[in-house]
Amino acid sequence: MTIIFASNNAKKLQELRAILSEFEVQSYRVFLEPLEVVETGASFSENAHLKARAIYDRLPHKNDLCVLADDSGLCVDALNGMPGIFSARFANISENAHQIAQGHFATPQKDSEDTSNNLKLLACLKELGISQSKASFVCVMALCMRVGGVLQEKSFRGECKGKICQAPLNPKAFGYDPLFIPKGHTLTMDQIPEKNTLSHRFLALQQCKEFLKLYS
């Protein structure tokens, strides 16, 4: 079985191949031209399914392929769950921390650099007068595949709880990893060797892998 990942993000693709090592995993770009899916969903699940279905519907051969898409982000308690589905675009929100926490902000349209997003989050904590907050990394994996000629759409959710803290930024780290300390650990996510066994994406993919084994 070949899994088509609905992203061309090299770091995410590497993580998927490590976790789903018994399957062939390819970027959708092997089969299709670049496609930008507008994330209009109000949740991780809605956005993940939008991406999975958009790629699946455009594949020329579907019977022996399945499409896997993810939507993930950081939910910070002090910001009432933000940046959430806007995690990749957080730095492009111009409103202050109090407005963001109340949901009073213009929807950002473009992704921003990881370092910019991290700096925005640190600035929000400073505005709120705190140095840390409980937080969770959340990932929803959406799967589209045919089973017995019938299209199946499934979702798998993983959550890694911990906290956000003031920490030196690592420009080589991924996403918000350099600011996030998983529960039960003292190091930030980017410093933990076994990251792939406790990340939100790993937890969602483990559920997905068990489902795929039923049909491989």
Residue 85 CA to residue 83 CA, distance in Å, equals 6
Residues linked to residue 71 through DSSP beta bridges, in sequence order: 140
pLDDT in tens, 88-143: 999 999 999 999 999 999 999 999 999 999 999 999 999 999 999 999 999 999 99
**Residue 53 banded pLDDT, cuts 50, 70, 90:** very high
Numbered residues of the known binding site for substrate: 7-12, 72, 174-177, 195, 200-201
Numbered residues of the known binding site: 7-12, 71-72, 174-177, 195, 200-201
From residue 39, alpha-carbon distances to 81, 124, 134 in Å are 18, 24, 26
Side-chain-side CA neighbours of residue 192 (13 Å):
20
Mean pLDDT, the chain, rounded, equals 93
pLDDT at 63 over 80: no
Numbered residues of the known binding site for Mg(2+): 71
List the catalytic residues: 71
Please tell me the pTM assigned to this model.
0.92
pLDDT at 61 over 80: no
Q: Please, what are the domains in the chain?
A: 2-213 (3.90.950.10)
Q: How many residues are recorded in the chain?
A: 216
pLDDT in tens, 2-21: 899 998 888 889 889 988 99
Give 110's DSSP letter: S
